[in-house]
Amino acid sequence: MAIQRRMPRRAVMFAGLATTAATALVLSGCGSSDSGGGSDSGGDVTIEFAQWWEPELPDGEFRALIDKFEEKNPEITVDLVSGPYASTKEQLFAGAASGTMPDVVGLDGAWVNDFASQGVITDLTALMAENDYDDSELASQIKVDDKTYMIPVVNFVYPMFTNDDLLAEAGVDAPPTTREEFADAAEKITALGGDTSGWVLPLSLEAPNGVQNDVMSWVWASGGSMLKDGQPDLTNDDVTSATEFIGDLWDSGVIASGSFTMKEQDKVEEFTNGRVGMMIDSLAHINLIRETNPDLNFSISALPAEEGYEGERGIPYASWGIGVAENSENKDAAFKLVSFLMSEETNSELSTMANAFPGNTNSVPAFVEDDDLFAKAFEIYQAGYPANEFTGLPVAEELMRQLGEQLQSALDGQQSIPDALEKAQASWESEF
Amino acid sequence: MITPDTEAIVTGAPLSRRRRQLRKAGESYGFLAPTLLLLFVLMIVPIVMVIGYSFQDRAVMGASSGFVGLANYVEVLSDPGFWKATGNTLYFTGVSVAAHLVIGLTFAMLLNSTLIGVVPRAIFRALYVLPWLFTAAVIAVLWRMLLAPNGIVNFLLTTDVEWLASPQLALGTVTFVNIWAGYPFFMVSLLAGLQGIPGELNEAATVDGANGPQRFWNVTIPQLRPIIVSLLLLDFIWTSQQFALIWMTTGGGPIDVTEVLSTFTYKLAFAQYDFAVAATSAVLVLLMSMVLAVLYVRHQKARD
């Protein structure tokens, strides 16, 4: 009997202990804001590096590069936090809100303004000065209010891809170099019949980067701009003429159907399957296209410009950028990692494994010498200038989505293109 | 059996009635404590925080945020996008739930029928329940491929319709996909209900001269009514929160024709980083869902 009475008390104790343990667990989870993990003993530090790069590179190669860094800096251990792009983005925004950002962060140019204005990524201009870092080798720096917050580590450019067999079948001798030639080639390819279309234009609102890569790229290719003094300028002649050109292509039925829900991967699939003659796409997809359809005969060229345009052509690009968290307790160690990745040798190695162009002007990726297509891309890259005006803008992805919505409405015939640009301009202004 | 004498031996002192009651209550709460703590941390705290954010400006992302009263509510409720999303949500949810019921009931009756043999019935059962096995992501990818302009649906119909990309068709198409994904829940639940209807009821109705439709309306439906009401309320709550399927098929587009409250709120939070307004929209959705939840709980209580 006595035992019977003791049992519940033990159970109560157990429940109490479980509660305490659960509380401790929850509190430790909530309180783990010290991502630096710095240790006082012996000066060794562990820094976290969150990025989406490792999963996109061949297995083990990025870790091997980081191992080299650790060999050179035995007092620093790098904890790689790797995930797909979208989850890295969500993780960083959550970390920004809770003050638990990893020490070093992989950044997309589209996030920089939001993070910088929130004060969660550190001013690299100051960090570079503190560490006597010579920034003359850096190809570019992403600034907000004249302070660098992101350094592009490698750049992926977006030239025009052409299916040369389809072009030849349509009687087009060479990839188009002007908008008129492009429209003509697109019409001839579409006229081949079947499922074939001249061009592919992804305008999905889920991932609206088609607005940047496939629409605004026409503006940049002819030296135009969507900004004036850092403010939206969507109604200028350059943007209007490029957008109306796309509207004309739409009206003449040369754009592959399904645009309004098409994403970048759908675009690549259409091209790889030989259903579209031309697309604007990242060099990062060259190997994918070759692996998926080894028989596809394709080449790359600079984006067509307006008739008579002789200046340098802007070529859209996307970067794997890097930054340091403001809440990091080991900023010096973090910056050592940044400067290691930006060094001539490491940057050459990283850009080679990523099939991308280096962020260090002295680095030369090995593929440029080994592969004709990449050599051509490097030529285009050097002849023009990397252009991506969305980089560094506030809520950049939302700006793309707002313009995308207005464009969809215009292409659907619900409003004119100038009206669409005016409405997008108004909604952009409210975001700046 | 525990007696007061035994109590005295164990504790060394007799306990007053009041202390015994207190100890009993303490034990109950001791057992409940882990669950209550988790409920508090995982449910109450987030909900209270979200409600709190909805009365602030620059919540979460701002270095300092201040109380703004009902300003966020005024902003959301005066946004035409919110009302467009509300309308789309009502259409998407209403049509989905009605179709789920009709299709689920039809298939459940088919599977409950003795007119078809055991083997075909097993095959139909496996086929009909199939959509339930897929996650929203798989369903979205599957139907995106099937409904692509050069996908298999257009091939079979010899058409070139842009099912998901056409502003005129997109809302109907995602609703159709959601109907396809959701009817098995109704079918399985109603089948269980149908199998629980005593055969004597139908026999008695037949003896009274009732034909098939009369037996359906006067025996089957009244017997299934409690299950049907529960299913309708639950499905209404779930479907009005559907996010993954719409986000992964249309992203709320083309233009804004498939924008529902969940995608509208998501964009506010993760595209515009306006967590205060997003929290406001979420609280409004919570209030709408609570109306249905209250109806559901009242219905369940009435059944008990």
pLDDT of residue B22 exceeding 50, the answer is: yes
pLDDT of residue B70 exceeding 60, the answer is: yes
ipTM of predicted complex:
0.78
Q: What is the pLDDT of residue A216?
A: 96
B14 touches chain A (CB under 8 A): no
**Cα–Cα distance for residue pair A292/A302, rounded to 1 Å:** 24
The interface residues of chain A toward chain B in range 6-45, judged by CB-CB distance below 8 A, are 6, 8, 11-12, 15-16, 18-19, 22-23, 26
Q: Tokens 């292409």 correspond to what residue? A: A411
pLDDT of residue B6 exceeding 60, the answer is: no
pLDDT band at B10 (very low <50, low <70, confident <90, very high): low
Beta strands per DSSP E along A140-221: 142-144, 147-157, 160-163, 197-199
Q: What is the pLDDT of residues B216-271, one digit of tens each?
A: 999 999 999 999 999 999 999 899 989 999 999 999 989 999 999 999 999 998 88
Q: What is the pLDDT of residue A223?
A: 92
pLDDT of residue B303 exceeding 80, the answer is: no
**Cα–Cα distance for residue pair A288/A294, rounded to 1 Å:** 10
Q: What is the mean pLDDT of residues A361-374?
A: 81
Instruction: Tell me the chain B residues in contact with residue A96 when contact means C-beta distances shorter than 8 Å.
Output: 61
pLDDT of residue A139 exceeding 90, the answer is: no
Q: What is the pLDDT of residue A372?
A: 84
Token couple for A107? 């950044």
B79 touches chain A (CB under 8 A): no
**A331, A403 Cβ separation under 8 angstroms:** no
pLDDT of residue A59 exceeding 90, the answer is: no
User: Which among B53, B150, B266 is the top mutation candidate for probing chain A, defined by the most A β-carbons within 10 Å of its own β-carbon?
Assistant: B150
Within 13 A of A421's CA, how many CA atoms are on the CB side? 21
Chain A residue at shortest CA distance from B170: A261
Q: What is the mean pLDDT of residues B32-60?
A: 90
Burial profile A16-32: b = 16 or more Cβ within 10 angstroms, e = fewer: eeebeebeeebeeeeee
Q: Do B273 and A262 touch (CB under 8 A)?
A: no
Chain A residue at shortest CA distance from B162: A258
Alpha helices of B40-135 — where are they, by DSSP H?
Answer: 45-53, 71-77, 80-112, 118-129
Q: How close does chain B come to A275, measured CA to CA in Å?
A: 10
Chain B residue at shortest CA distance from A401: B271
- Write the DSSP symbol of residue A41: G
Q: What is the mean pLDDT of residues A170-181?
A: 95
Chain B residue at shortest CA distance from A203: B254
B63 Cβ contact list (under 8 Å, min separation 6): A118, A119
- Write the DSSP symbol of residue A138: B
B76 Cβ contact list (under 8 Å, min separation 6): B82, B277, B280, B281, B284
Q: Do B253 and A23 touch (CB under 8 A)?
A: no
Strand A227-228, strand A357-358: pairing: unpaired
Instruction: Tell me the chain B residues in contact with residue A18 when contact means C-beta distances shorter than 8 Å.
Output: 33-34
Q: Do A2 and B10 touch (CB under 8 A)?
A: yes
User: Which among A261, A267, A271, A415 is the top mutation candidate for probing chain B, defined by the most B β-carbons within 10 Å of its own β-carbon?
Assistant: A261
Q: What is the pLDDT of residue A285?
A: 84
**Cα–Cα distance for residue pair A397/B276, rounded to 1 Å:** 19
Nearest to A405 among B38, B170, B253 (CB): B253
For B195-200, the CB contacts below 8 A with 24+ separation are B195/B112, B196/B223, B197/B223, B197/B224
Q: What is the pLDDT of residues A8-49, one digit of tens each?
A: 444 444 444 444 343 333 333 333 334 334 444 445 899 999
pLDDT of residue A86 exceeding 90, the answer is: no
pLDDT band at A288 (very low <50, low <70, confident <90, very high): confident
Among residues A70, A72, A153, which one has the least CA distance to residue A107? A153
Among residues A265, A258, A266, which one has the least CA distance to residue A284? A265
**Cα–Cα distance for residue pair A56/A428, rounded to 1 Å:** 32
**Cα–Cα distance for residue pair A277/B26, rounded to 1 Å:** 75
Q: How close does chain B come to A368, measured CA to CA in Å?
A: 36
Backbone angles phi, psi at A230, to 5 degrees: 80, 0
Q: How close does chain A come to B219, measured CA to CA in Å?
A: 47
- CB atoms under 10 Å from CB of A310, counted, come to 7
Instruction: Tell me the chain A residues in contact with residue B244 when contact means C-beta distances shorter than 8 Å.
Output: none
Q: What is the pLDDT of residues A374-415, one digit of tens each?
A: 888 888 887 888 888 998 888 888 999 999 999 999 999 999
A206 touches chain B (CB under 8 A): yes
Q: What is the pLDDT of residue A194?
A: 83
Three-state DSSP state, A144: strand
Instruction: Tell me the chain A residues in contact with residue B174 when contact means C-beta distances shorter than 8 Å.
Output: none
User: Which among A3, A196, A201, A205 is the top mutation candidate for probing chain B, defined by the most B β-carbons within 10 Å of its own β-carbon?
Assistant: A205
Q: What is the pLDDT of residue A432?
A: 83
Q: Do A5 and B162 touch (CB under 8 A)?
A: no
Q: What is the pLDDT of residues A317-344, one digit of tens each?
A: 888 999 999 999 999 999 999 999 999 9
**Cα–Cα distance for residue pair A355/A358, rounded to 1 Å:** 9
Alpha helices of A99-209 — where are they, by DSSP H?
Answer: 109-118, 124-130, 164-169, 179-190
Q: How close does chain A come to B252, measured CA to CA in Å?
A: 7
**Cα–Cα distance for residue pair A337/B263, rounded to 1 Å:** 38
B37 touches chain A (CB under 8 A): yes
Instruction: Tell me the chain B residues in contact with residue A12 when contact means C-beta distances shorter than 8 Å.
Output: 26-27, 30-31
B249 touches chain A (CB under 8 A): yes
Q: Which of B21-25, B180-184, B280-284 has the lowest mean pLDDT?
A: B21-25
Q: Which of A89-98, A225-234, B36-45, B252-261 has the lowest mean pLDDT?
A: A89-98
The interface residues of chain B toward chain A in range 49-68, judged by CB-CB distance below 8 A, are 60-63
Q: What is the mean pLDDT of residues A410-424?
A: 96
Q: What is the pLDDT of residues B80-110, one digit of tens each?
A: 999 999 999 999 999 999 999 999 999 999 9
Q: How close does chain A come to B64, measured CA to CA in Å?
A: 10
Q: What is the mean pLDDT of residues A256-269?
A: 92
Q: Do B60 and A97 touch (CB under 8 A)?
A: yes
Q: What angle do CA A80, A85, A86 make, to 5 degrees?
A: 120
**A184, A177 Cβ separation under 8 angstroms:** no
Q: Do A205 and B253 touch (CB under 8 A)?
A: yes
Q: How close does chain B come to A267, measured CA to CA in Å?
A: 12
B78 exposure class (CB count in 10 Å sphere: 0-12, 13-18, 19+): exposed
pLDDT of residue A259 exceeding 50, the answer is: yes
Q: What is the pLDDT of residue A32?
A: 37
Q: What is the pLDDT of residue B125?
A: 87
Instruction: Tell me the chain B residues in contact with residue A413 when contact means C-beta distances shorter than 8 Å.
Output: none
Q: What is the pLDDT of residue B11?
A: 52
Q: What is the pLDDT of residues B172-222, one digit of tens each?
A: 999 999 999 999 999 999 999 999 999 899 889 999 898 989 999 999 999
pLDDT of residue B7 exceeding 70, the answer is: no
For A132-137, the CB contacts below 8 A with 24+ separation are A133/A335, A133/A339, A137/A342, A137/A344, A137/A360, A137/A361, A137/A362
A234 Cβ contact list (under 8 Å, min separation 6): A226, A403, A421, A422, A424, A425, A428
Q: Do B273 and A114 touch (CB under 8 A)?
A: yes
pLDDT of residue B130 exceeding 60, the answer is: yes
> pLDDT exceeding 90 applies to what percent of chain A?
58
**Cα–Cα distance for residue pair A271/A261, rounded to 1 Å:** 16
User: Who has greater pLDDT, B292 or A173?
Assistant: A173
The interface residues of chain A toward chain B in range 379-418, judged by CB-CB distance below 8 A, are 395, 397-398, 401, 404-405, 408-409, 412, 414
CB pairs under 8 A between A and B: 122
Q: What is the pLDDT of residue B304?
A: 65
The interface residues of chain A toward chain B in range 99-118, judged by CB-CB distance below 8 A, are 114, 118
Q: Which of A196-205, B97-106, B115-124 has the lowest mean pLDDT?
A: B115-124
